Amino acid sequence: MNGIEQETIDGCAVIRLQGEVDLSWSQQVRDAVLAALGKNARVGVELSDVSYIDSSGIAALVEGFQHARSKGTGFALVAVSDAVRAVLELARLDRVFPIVATVQDVPATTSVPATKP
């Protein structure tokens, strides 16, 4: 079952995604990410319960990352599932996105990681 949950932990907005992020609801993911970035200094998108992500879901995350970089907002993908990591690695986006293990590790500002996590 697909779902989006939002909460704030240690001053970081956390968007928890669940299920399959595909064209049928990637627009909702995009809207949630951009809304959180508009209101918070740090945003983490938790992907531990995502079993599948397609190009539209990746595009929503890329747009959030680019928006965060342009505003100097902290942004990271948190606890990425194996299924999502495989897609990110295939597209070499694991070298672009900040990927962290916990919400507490979401950076204060967003930059391209120097090395693969």
Give the model confidence (pLDDT) of 41-77 as tens digits: 999 999 999 999 999 999 999 999 999 999 999 999 9
Burial category of 99 from C-beta neighbours within 10 Å (exposed 0-12, middle 13-18, buried 19 and up)? buried
112 within domain boundaries = no
Whether residue 80 lies inside any domain: the answer is yes
Residue span of the structural domain in which 19 resides: 3-105
- How far apart are alpha carbons 10 and 58 in whole angstroms? 26
The pTM of the full predicted model, rounded to 2 decimals, is 0.90
CA-CA distance, 76 to 44, in Å (whole number)?
5
Does residue 28 surpass a pLDDT of 70?
yes
Q: What is the pLDDT of residue 112?
A: 53
Cβ–Cβ under 8 Å, residues 45 and 73: no
Is residue 113, in this structure, part of any structural domain at all?
no
What's the pLDDT score for residue 111?
61
Q: What is the pLDDT of residue 21?
A: 97
> Among residues of the chain, what percentage have pLDDT more than 90?
84
Has residue 37 been placed in a domain? yes
How far apart, in Å, are the Cα atoms of 38 and each of 7, 43, 44, 50? 15, 10, 13, 24
Do residues 111 and 76 make contact, with C-beta atoms less than 8 angstroms apart?
no
For residue 53, what pLDDT is reported? Answer: 97
Q: Closest by alpha carbon to 77, among 40, 108, 48? A: 48
Using the predicted structure, report yes or no on whether residue 95 has a pLDDT greater than 70.
yes
